[in-house]
């Protein structure tokens, strides 16, 4: 999702500062009211009323008052009851005061609704039976929450482009869609269809999600109308600026033609053209290795933002400053684009399964490096990820969690959903082979092994779903693999013992679980594979013989030299902090 990722995480570990935008965002001059705990969180326990409706359509009208950093919204939301219900419950920051609520176009008295903590409850004039529809209107306005450090702290970014014109963006993954529109702030809260209408000064553009339906002129302002199907709730975004546009098309290997758009600041035209040239190779990689671009009837879109970046369905945010890092592609752009498959096409049911977005999305960077340039770049990526894996908490808890529960290193796996998630996928690929591995990914993403444009829809999945897919595709039970790598915190440890001319190996897991992971061992210049079916194996290797366990780095395991490096990094960080405190 948003880039709590390689360069930033490694930079933080090394005590470096990362530049997040070409032009700094302006600090807010308005003192912001505190967000409630409900608004700060995304996901978690779902109100029963939200489980009783299906979200059909969100018609969202936004007017930006840029000089005063204010937003006026008019939302019309249509639902179908999946079970009888007498109320509609939504999420909306209470710091955006509501002026009117309507139900099927009829204004509701103030007594019919309340929003004390950011959970908007609307009593319906009459209870809905299963299958009945209702349209709820919510009119509101105010100063939306300003992100202090987007995209890690969600909210609006009010910045100024190099030419002095306004440059505005939203990034709301962590805190959720309720920071600027009334929604169901859950991974499963996707509407079937969303229309956004964004009114801005006429000299600014407002690129958005999906397909541009039209632009209405109103003298000093213009309204941009976009339409998107089945978007992630937090992937709905507003972008405003003095953009220029690069357009092109990609002839898909699946027979369709995919529009490509890049909205960039005019000052960066040369760099933008170079970045845009990388769109087609990325599309070719993903379509070859994973499957059809899921939103080919809409667009592959990117917009330059004053924050680092984030996946926004069909209009990904890019703020990496056109940096080069020696890998021959922009890693941030490629990571966010990966989320069109892992996050937008297949969406986790619960934040606890967030590794399905981030682990797979992160593995796409080394995989793309291998696709472009071979094994050296591939293993370079994996080594950097390995240096950042912390193994303090399990990647998956098995419980319903909020976004913060997962990303907070005090309560959840934090960065390990990226780094360890990608590394375990590398190990799985070595274990089951490329054919089974990529088949399992296609089934996870599309729900079928033979995806083609028109025969799949965005879907939800859980960790268990993926485990079941791997077992079905391989015809074997790999529960032991996922138990150790996802539900244990510690990595498996390879223990070596010498008995004369015999070198014995056995796997040691955190809770003593079986771990029949095959192990390659190089003895001299010959590599042999130990089945390790009971977790044990041995080779004949007299003392002095060259022995390398796992010579081709297939298995993610405890590595003492990595842990020693991580301890050293922490000591350096503490020493710098102590020196800073003294000065």
Residue 552, beta-bridge partner list: none
Residue 31: pLDDT band (50, 70, 90) is: low
Q: Could you tell me which of 367, 362, 361 has the C-alpha nearest to residue 379? A: 367
Give the pLDDT band of residue 27 (cuts 50, 70, 90).
very low
pLDDT higher than threshold 50 for residue 196: yes
Please give the backbone phi and psi of residue 512, each rounded to the nearest 5 degrees, phi first: 75, 20
Distance CA(398)–CA(387), nearest Å, equals 26
Q: Which residues pair with 228 in a beta bridge?
A: 194
Report whether 343 contacts 311 (CB < 8 A). yes
- For 244-249, the CB contacts below 8 A with 24+ separation are 244/269, 244/272, 245/205, 245/207, 246/272, 246/273, 246/276, 248/276, 248/279, 248/280
Report pLDDT for 582.
Answer: 80
One DSSP character per residue, 320-368 reads: STT---SSSS-HHHHHHHHTTTBTTTEEESSGGGTHHHHHHHHHHHHHH
Residue pair 124/88 in contact (Cβ under 8 Å)? The answer is yes
Place of tokens 């995209």: 151
d(CA 171, CA 263): 17
Q: Does CATH place domain 493-555 in 1.10.357?
A: no
- 47-91 confidence digits (pLDDT tens): 999 999 999 999 999 999 999 999 999 999 999 999 999 999 999
Q: Is residue 124 a contact partner of residue 86, using CB atoms and an 8 Å limit? A: yes
Query: How is residue 455 written in tokens?
Result: 């025969």
For 69: left if phi > 0, alpha if psi spans -120 to 50, otherwise beta; the answer is: left
- Average pLDDT of the residues of the chain: 94
Residues 480, 431 contacting (CB under 8 angstroms): no
Q: What is the pLDDT of residue 8?
A: 41
- Is residue 420 within 8 Å of residue 359, measured between CB atoms? yes
Alpha-carbon span 239 to 73, nearest angstrom: 15
DSSP string, 428-479: HHHHH-HHHHHHHHHHHHHSSSS--TTS---EEE-HHHHHHHHHHHHTS--H
> Tokens for 470?
């791997």
Residue 94 CA to chain centroid, in angstroms? 26
What CA–CA distance (Å, rounded) separates 469 from 481? Answer: 14
Q: Is 339 annotated as a binding residue?
A: yes
**Residue indicated by tokens 């546009």:** 245
Give residue-wise pLDDT tens across range 256-280.
Answer: 999 999 999 999 999 999 999 999 9
Going by the DSSP 8-state scheme, the letter that residue 545 receives in this structure is: -
pLDDT at residue 45 greater than cutoff 50? yes
Read off the tokens for 45. Answer: 């326990």
Is the model's pLDDT at 150 over the cut of 80?
A: yes
Q: Give the percent of the chain with pLDDT over 90.
A: 93
Homologous superfamily of domain range 20-242: tricorn interacting facor f3 domain (2.60.40.1730)
Cα–Cα distance, 535 to 154 (Å, whole number): 46
The per-residue pLDDT for 7 is 44
570 marked ligand binding residue = no
| Nearest CA-CA partner of 8 in 440, 502, 448, 415 | 415
Residue 1 pLDDT? 57
For helices 6-14 and 375-388, the axis angle rounded to 10 degrees is 50
Residue 423: CA atoms inside 13 Å, Cβ hemisphere, count? Answer: 27
Kindly report the length of the chain: 583
What pLDDT does 580 receive? Answer: 84
Looking at residue 579, what is its pLDDT? Answer: 87
Q: 418, 446, 466, 485: which one is catalytic?
A: 418
Nearest Cα residue to 259 out of 212, 309, 197: 212
Q: Could you give the C-alpha distances from 187 to 400, 426, 454, 513, 546, in angstroms and in order?
A: 11, 27, 23, 32, 51
234 is catalytic: no
Position 11 scores a pLDDT of 43
Distance CA 207, CA 224 (A): 8
The answer to whether 20-242 and 493-555 have equal CATH topology is yes
Question: Is residue 418 annotated as part of the catalytic site, yes or no?
Answer: yes
**Beta-carbon-side half-sphere exposure of residue 412 (alpha carbons within 13 Å):** 24
**Tens digits of residue pLDDT in 315-351:** 999 999 999 999 999 999 999 999 999 999 999 999 9
Cβ pair 420, 393 in contact under 8 A = no
Find out whether 335 is annotated in a ligand binding site.
yes
Q: Which two tokens stand for residue 214?
A: 């039209």
In this prediction, residue 23 has a pLDDT band, given cuts at 50, 70 and 90, of: very low
Kindly indicate the confidence band of residue 16, based on its pLDDT and cuts at 50, 70 and 90. very low
pLDDT for 10 equals 43
Q: Residue ranges per domain, the chain?
A: 20-242, 251-486, 493-555
Domain 251-486 in CATH: superfamily?
Neutral Protease Domain 2 (1.10.390.10)
CB-side exposure of 6: number of CA atoms within 13 Å? Answer: 25
Q: How many helices (H) and strands (E) does the chain have?
A: 13, 27
CA dihedral (75, 403, 331, 164) positive or negative: positive
Annotated catalytic residue: which of 49, 175, 261, 336?
A: 336
């Amino acid at each position: 999702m948003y880039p709590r990722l390689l360069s930033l995480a490694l930079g933080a570990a090394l005590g470096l500062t990362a530049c997040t935008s070409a032009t700094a965002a302006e600090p807010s001059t308005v003192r912001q009211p505190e967000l409630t705990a409900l608004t700060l969180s995304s996901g978690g326990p779902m109100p029963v009323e939200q489980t009783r409706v299906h979200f059909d359509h969100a018609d969202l009208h936004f007017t930006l008052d840029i000089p005063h950093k204010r937003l006026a919204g008019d939302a019309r939301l249509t639902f179908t009851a999946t079970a009888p219900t007498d109320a509609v419950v939504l999420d909306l920051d209470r710091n955006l005061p509501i002026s009117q609520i309507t139900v099927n176009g009829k204004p509701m008295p103030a007594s019919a609704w309340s929003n004390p903590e950011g959970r908007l409850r609307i009593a319906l004039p009459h209870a809905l039976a299963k299958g009945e529809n209702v349209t709820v209107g919510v009119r509101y306005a105010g100063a939306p929450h300003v992100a202090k450090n987007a995209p890690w702290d969600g909210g609006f970014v009010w910045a100024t482009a190099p030419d002095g014109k306004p440059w505005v963006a939203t990034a709301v993954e962590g805190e959720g869609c309720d920071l600027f529109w009334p929604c169901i702030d859950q991974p499963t809260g996707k509407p079937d269809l969303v229309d956004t209408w964004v009114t801005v000064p006429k000299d600014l553009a407002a690129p958005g999600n999906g397909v541009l339906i039209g632009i209405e002129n109103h003298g000093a302002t213009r309204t941009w109308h976009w339409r998107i199907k089945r978007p992630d709730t937090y992937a709905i975004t507003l972008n405003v600026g003095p953009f220029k546009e690069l357009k092109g098309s990609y002839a898909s290997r699946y027979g369709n033609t995919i529009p490509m758009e890049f909205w960039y600041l005019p000052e960066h035209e040369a760099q933008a053209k170079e970045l845009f040239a990388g769109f087609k190779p990325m599309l070719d990689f993903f379509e070859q290795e994973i499957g059809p671009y899921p939103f080919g009837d809409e667009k592959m879109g990117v917009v330059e933002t004053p924050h680092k970046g984030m996946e926004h369905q069909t209009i990904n945010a890019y703020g990496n400053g056109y940096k080069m890092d020696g890998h021959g592609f922009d890693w941030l752009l490629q990571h966010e684009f990966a989320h069109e498959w892992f996050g937008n096409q297949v969406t986790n049911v619960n934040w606890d399964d967030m590794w399905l977005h981030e682990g797979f999305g992160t593995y796409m960077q080394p995989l793309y490096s291998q696709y472009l340039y071979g094994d050296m770049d591939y293993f370079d990526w994996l080594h950097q990820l390995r240096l950042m894996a912390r193994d303090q908490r399990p990647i998956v808890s098995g419980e319903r969690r909020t976004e913060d529960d997962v990303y907070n290193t005090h309560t959840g796996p934090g960065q390990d959903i990226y780094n360890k998630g990608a590394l375990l996928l590398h190990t799985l690929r070595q274990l089951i082979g490329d054919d089974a591995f990529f088949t399992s990914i296609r089934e996870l993403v599309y729900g079928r092994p033979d995806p083609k444009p028109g025969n799949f829809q965005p879907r939800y999945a859980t960790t268990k779903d993926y485990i079941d897919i791997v077992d079905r595709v391989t015809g074997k039970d790999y529960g032991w693999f996922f138990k150790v790598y996802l539900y244990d915190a510690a990595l498996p440890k390879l223990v070596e013992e010498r008995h004369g001319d015999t070198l014995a190996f056995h796997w040691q897991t955190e809770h003593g679980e079986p771990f029949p992971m095959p192990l390659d061992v190089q003895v001299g210049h010959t590599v042999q594979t130990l089945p390790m079916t009971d977790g044990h194996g041995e080779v004949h290797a007299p003392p002095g013989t060259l022995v390398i366990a796992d010579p081709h780095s297939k298995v993610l395991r405890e590595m003492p030299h990595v842990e020693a490096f991580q301890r050293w990094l922490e000591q350096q960080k503490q020493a710098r902090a102590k020196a800073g405190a003294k000065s």
